[in-house]
Every structure is written in structure tokens, then in C-alpha cells.
Chains A and B, each alone.
Chain A
Amino acid sequence: MRRIHDMGGLPAGSIDSAGHDYAPWEKRVDAIMRLLTRPDRQTMTVDELRRGIEDLGPGAYDRLNYYQRWIASIANILIERGVIGVDELGRRMADVEARWRADGRTRRDIEP
């Protein structure tokens, strides 16, 4: 069965090849991944990142943008690995969101 990410050769629209800048959070996700894959520590591999992205499933894969897929995969893999806990991550996310709301921002501010 063809999986959702394996779309080579399928009909598609035009591709926007114009360069674009990255949001600060996207650069941070990239930096997190670089730290996690450092050869001297190798907390995870790029192959695990890809596996995690492919396992998001068609719904999330289509809905999330590039770095949203990355961070979703990274979070799942770090939980699997025991690097972070589900409750720990959930509380931290709630803390960050509370801080954003206190600043008058909403979730929309971090979405594309």
C-alpha cells in the first residue's frame, strides 16, 4: 500500500519554489533536531524523525506544515525513548500556552 508521504509521481498542482523566511519557532525546531542528532550523543536519528512523521497518518500529515510535522515526531520519539514524560510535556505545554495568553497572544500566533 502506498503511504501518505510517498507521493512521487502522483498528480499535483504547481509548486511554490519561492524562497521564504522561517519563523523563530521553526528555527528552534531545527536547532532542537540538530542537538538531538549530534554524533557524540545521538539521542535520536533522522531516520527516526522520518519514521515518526510518516506514522502521523494522513490526517495530521496533511494538516501540519513542515516543522510542525518535525516537532510532533520529535515529541513522540522522545516520549518513546523515555527522554521526556507525557505528563511532563503536557504540563510544560500548558505553562507555555498560559504565558502566551497572559501576553495577549493565542495559539493562532504560532500557527501558519
Chain B
Amino acid sequence: MTDRLQPGTAVRVRAAFPPGHVRTPFFLRGKNGRIESLAGDFPNPEELAYGRPGLPRRALYRVVFRQSDLWPGYPGKTADTLVADIFEHWLDPVP
């Protein structure tokens, strides 16, 4: 398991498009957000989906995104956010 990402850390969701069962929503791939909190460690659903044990467990983070970063021409408030559960192996730190 990699080092824990601390709340507030800037991250980018990997712009990856593997086949198979993926829990990272398409609309978040390649987007920047910040770690809100750690949800826990869970077997990897990408492996569980094919009947494998999904071990080692992976850290699942709640990641907060600004709505205006997700949708071009977002008409709402700039303070509007969205929180999504993203597994550690889908997150890269933003330098």
C-alpha cells in the first residue's frame, strides 16, 4: 500500500480508459480535485468483478471537485462542489 494521501492534498484522477469493470466515473477522469478524507481500505472491485480476491486492499478516498472544474460553462456558484469515492490507484498527486 502506498503512503496515505492527507486531506487537502491536490490530486488528479488518471485519464485512463481500461476495459473491464471500473468504478471511477468517466466524467472525472483527468480532472483535478482534493482529498477530503479516507473512506477506508477495500478489496479492489476491478478484481472482485472477475471473481478474484481483489487483494491487497486499496485505500478509497473521498475526493472533492469544484463543479466549475468539471463542466464547461457551469452556471452555478463557484463554491459548488462534488464529492466522489475514488480508489488510490486512480489518483496521482498534482505537483
B50 near A51: Cβ-Cβ < 8 Å: yes
Choose one: B25, B48, B50; the contact of A6 (CB below 8 Å).
Answer: B25
Enumerate A86-108 residues with CB–CB distance to B below 8 Å: none
A81 near B26: Cβ-Cβ < 8 Å: no
Choose one: B26, B27, B49, B71; the contact of A48 (CB below 8 Å).
Answer: B49
A8 near B49: Cβ-Cβ < 8 Å: no
A47 near B17: Cβ-Cβ < 8 Å: no
Least distance between B70 CB and chain A CB atoms (Å): 7
Query: Is there a chain B Cβ closer than 8 Å to A1's Cβ?
Result: yes
Query: A1 — which chain B residues lie within 8 A by C-beta?
Result: 17
A48 near B51: Cβ-Cβ < 8 Å: yes
Query: Is there a chain B Cβ closer than 8 Å to A9's Cβ?
Result: yes
Query: Is there a chain B Cβ closer than 8 Å to A2's Cβ?
Result: yes
B70 near A50: Cβ-Cβ < 8 Å: no
Flag B22-65 by CB within 8 Å of A: 1 or 0 each.
10011100000000000000000100111100100000000000
Choose one: A2, A50, A81; the contact of B51 (CB below 8 Å).
Answer: A81
Flag B58-79 by CB within 8 Å of A: 1 or 0 each.
0000000000001100000000
Query: A54 — which chain B residues lie within 8 A by C-beta?
Result: 21
Choose one: A2, A3, A6, A47; the contact of B49 (CB below 8 Å).
Answer: A47
Query: Is there a chain B Cβ closer than 8 Å to A68's Cβ?
Result: no
- A sample of 5 inter-chain contacts (CB < 8 A) reads A6-B25, A8-B25, A8-B27, A9-B27, A51-B50
**Can you name 5 extra interface pairs (CB under 8 A) apart from A48-B49, A81-B51?**
A1-B17, A3-B26, A6-B22, A45-B49, A47-B48
Q: List residues of chain B with CB under 8 Å of any chain A CB.
A: 17, 20-22, 25-27, 45, 48-51, 54, 70-71
